[in-house]
Amino acid sequence: MIQVNNLSKIYTNGKKVLNIANLEIPKGQSFGLVGNNGAGKTTFFSLLLDLIEPTTGSIKNNEVIVNQSEAWKPFTAAFIDESFLIGYLTAEEYFYFIGDLRGQNKADVDALLKKHEQFFNNEILNNKKYLRDLSKGNMKKVGIIAALIGNPEVVILDEPFANLDPTTVSRLKKIIKELAENPNVTVLVSSHDLVHTVEVCDRIVALNLGEVVKDIQTSPETLKELETFFAV
C-alpha cells in the first residue's frame, strides 16, 4: 500500500532528519513507528501527507506519488496534532465539516459518532464547548474519531496514546485493533510507548536519528527486544 523509496529530508541548516532507503507497508497491515524525540516519526508522517517536501526520493501511497498528485487524499485520513482541529467549531460541527469534505452525509457521520459514543465518554458531544476550549485529551479524542470519518483505507495517527486517560487508552487500543482487523485498512501509528504499540501493531519499525534501526513483526518477544534496544 505504501512504498518508500530513497526518502530523505535535510533541512537548509544541513541537518538530516530522515533517511529511509526502502520501506514497504502492505495493505491491511497495522504499522507501528517508535522512537525517541527527534527520531523522525512526525517528519515521516508529514512527508506521507505531503505537508513537507522531501529532499530526495518519494512516497507512494496506493501507487500515487504523494508529492506529485493529490489522488491519495480521498482514501487517506490522519490526525497529527491539534493543528488538525478547527478551534472555533463545536465537536459536532467539526465532524460534519470533515464529513462534508469526505463525501459523507449527516446520517453517516451520526452513525459513526454513535458507534464511538463510549470512547467520547460524554465529554465531547453536546457539551457546549468550542474545540479550542477542550482539554488536550478531549481534543485528541475528537481528532482521532474525525480521522475515521468516511471509511479511509489509510489511517495515520501520530502519538494517539499521549495525553489520554487510562480508560480511554484501552478503548482506543480496541478501536485500532478493530481497524487493523479490516484487511482493507492500513493503520499507521507512532508512539513513545512501546507497550501500547506492540499491543496494537503487527509490525514495529524503530527510528533513531532518522534511520530505520529495527523492523520486526510483532511476537511475544518483541516488547523485550525493543525495551533492551531503547534502554541505553
Partner 1 sequence: MIKHFISLEWKSFLRSASFGTNLALKIFMTLGALYFAAMFVGLGIAVYFLIEDAGLKPFETVNKFLIYYFTADLVIRYFLQTTPVLNIKPLTILNIKKNTIVNFVIGKSALSFFNFLHAFFFIPFSIVLVKEGFNPMQVVFWHIGVFSIIYSMNFINVLVNKKDSIFYVVLTIVGGFGLAQYYGWFDVTVYTSPFFQGMYDTSYLFLFPIAALVLLYYFNFKFFKNNLTLDTGLAVKSKEATTENLTFLDQFGTLGTFLKNDIKLLKRNKRSRTTVIMSVVFIFYGLLFFTNSIEAYNNPAMHVFAGIFVSGGFLFTFGQFVPSWDSAYYQLMMSQNIPYREYIKSKWWLMVIGTVVSTILASFYLYFGWHIYLLIVVGAIFNIGVNSHLVMLGGAFVKTPIDLSSSKQAFGNKQAFNMKTMLISLPKLLLPMALYAAGYYIFSPEVGLLFVAGAGVLGFAFRNKVFTMIEKIYKTEKYATISAYKQTN
Dist. CA 217–CA 203, nearest whole Å? 4
CA distances from 187 to 15, 28, 204, 232 (A): 29, 7, 12, 29
Closest separation in Å from C-beta 80 to partner 1: 7
- According to CB under 8 A, which one of 18, 33, 34, 49 is a site residue for partner 1? 49
Per CB under 8 A, contacts with partner 1 among 129-188 are: 129-130, 132-133
- Work out which of 14, 37, 53, 228 binds partner 1, going by CB under 8 A: 53
Binding segment for partner 1 (CB under 8 A), chosen from 2-10, 127-135, 171-179, 210-218, is 127-135
* CB closer to partner 1 out of 148 and 198: 148
Closer of 24 and 93 to partner 1 (Cβ): 93
In the chain, DSSP finds a helix count (H) and a strand count (E) of: 8, 10
Asked if 221 interacts with partner 1 (CB under 8 A), we say no
Q: Which amino acid is at 35?
A: G
Pick between residue 63 and residue 100 the one whose CB is nearest to partner 1.
100
Tell me which residue of 50, 46, 52, 61 sits closest to 5, measured CA to CA: 61
Site size with partner 1, rule: CB under 8 A: 31
Beta carbon nearer to partner 1, 24 or 133:
133
Please answer whether residues 205 and 23 qualify as being in contact, where contact means their C-beta atoms are separated by less than 8 angstroms.
yes
Instruction: Give the residue with the Cβ less far from partner 1, 60 or 73.
Output: 73
* 37-41, long-range: CB < 8 A, 24+ apart: 37/192, 38/209, 39/206, 39/207, 39/208, 39/209, 39/210, 40/9, 40/207, 40/209, 40/210, 41/158, 41/159, 41/190, 41/207
DSSP label of 224: H
Interaction with partner 1 in 191-210: which residues (CB under 8 A)? none
DSSP 8-state class, residue 73: G
CA dist., res. 16 & res. 18, Å (int):
6
Binding mask 81-120 for partner 1 (x = CB under 8 A): --xxxxxxxx-xx---xx-xxx------------------
- Least separation in angstroms between CB 219 and partner 1: 33
Residues 24, 28, 34, CA angle at the centre, nearest 5°?
A: 60
The H-or-E segment that residue 154 falls in is: strand 154-158
Residues that bind partner 1 (CB under 8 A): 49-53, 70, 73-74, 76, 78, 80, 83-90, 92-93, 97-98, 100-102, 128-130, 132-133
